[in-house]
Amino acid sequence: MSAHAGDKAQKTGVFHCAKCDEKVSVQEGEKIPKCPNGHTEFNSRTQEPGNK
C-alpha cells in the first residue's frame, strides 16, 4: 500500500510515513496531510475500523 499527501484517504486509519515512520490519523474521504516532518509518502495504514 502506498499513499501520498494530498490523496483522499480511501479508508479511515493511521498512515505511517515511508521515510520516518511518523503517524498521521485520517478519516475516509479526507485529504492525507504531510507527516509532522514534512514527508509526503506513506507506506502502510493501521487501526482500520474493525481491525484494531
Q: Report yes or no on 51 lying in a domain.
A: no
Q: Report yes or no on 9 lying in a domain.
A: yes
**CA 50 from centroid of its chain's CA atoms:** 17
Residue type at 23 in one-letter notation: K
pLDDT of residue 49: 65
Which element (helix H / strand E) includes 4?
Answer: strand 3-4
What whole-number distance in Å separates Cα of residue 21 and Cα of residue 31?
19
pLDDT of residue 26: 97
Domain count, the chain: 1
Q: Report yes or no on 12 lying in a domain.
A: yes
Q: Report yes or no on 13 lying in a domain.
A: yes
Q: Report yes or no on 52 lying in a domain.
A: no
pLDDT of residue 50: 58
Mean pLDDT of 4-24: 96
Q: Give the residue numbers spanning the domain of 15.
A: 3-46
pLDDT greater than 50 at residue 51:
no
**What single DSSP character describes residue 51?**
B
Q: Report yes or no on 11 lying in a domain.
A: yes
Higher pLDDT, 49 or 51: 49
**Rg of the chain on CA atoms, in Å:** 10
pLDDT tens, position by position, 17-47:
999 999 999 999 999 999 999 999 999 999 8
Q: Report yes or no on 34 lying in a domain.
A: yes
